[in-house]
Amino acid sequence: MKNQYPIITMKTIHIICLGKLKEQYWQEAEAEYVKRLQPFAKIVVHELKEESFTEKDPVEVVRLKEAVKISAELEKIKDCYIVALEEKGKQYGSIDFANRLAHWNEIANSIVFIIGGPLGLDRSLVMKAQTTLSLSPLTFTHQMTRVIFLEQVYRAYMINQGRKYHY
């Protein structure tokens, strides 16, 4: 399927996420995709502190505490299109995702992608999002998700630019 929405103007993509990339290989992989994306979009990663929890802590309480932090960060970003990455979100193929990304770029000044922590996102954040997105029916660590997601964003820009990367 041919891309319908070529991306013309550079936009800002915000990635709000919980927790730091602890291992150097994840940090290097993220840095590589952020570098590759520089000609197409300004990537701003907002790393927020994860809530500590044990098996005895209620999942809903932990998610709500994290939602408060994420919501405060969202308040700082104006005129944005919000996409929550979550397990029940819409799944796209690479070309369809490229088309969606181009469309979101057309309708907002910036796009915000929210990646939750190990326990996922509070429903309040999912409700704030205009779109929910699932990368796969498989479960990934939130560190892996950041890198996989950035690769998919890069792939989408390559598709939208008509460059050889996606076969």
pLDDT value of residue 12: 95
**CATH 3.40.1280.10: does it fit domain 11-161?**
yes
Task: Tell me what the pLDDT averaged over the chain comes to.
Answer: 91
The pTM score is 0.91
pLDDT value of residue 2: 54
Which band of pLDDT confidence, cut at 50, 70 and 90, is reported for residue 26?
Answer: very high
Per domain, the residue ranges of the chain are 11-161
The Cα–Cα gap between 137 and 161 comes to: 28
The DSSP code for 47 is E
Q: In 3D, which of 82, 103, 80, 100 has the Cα closest to residue 91?
A: 100
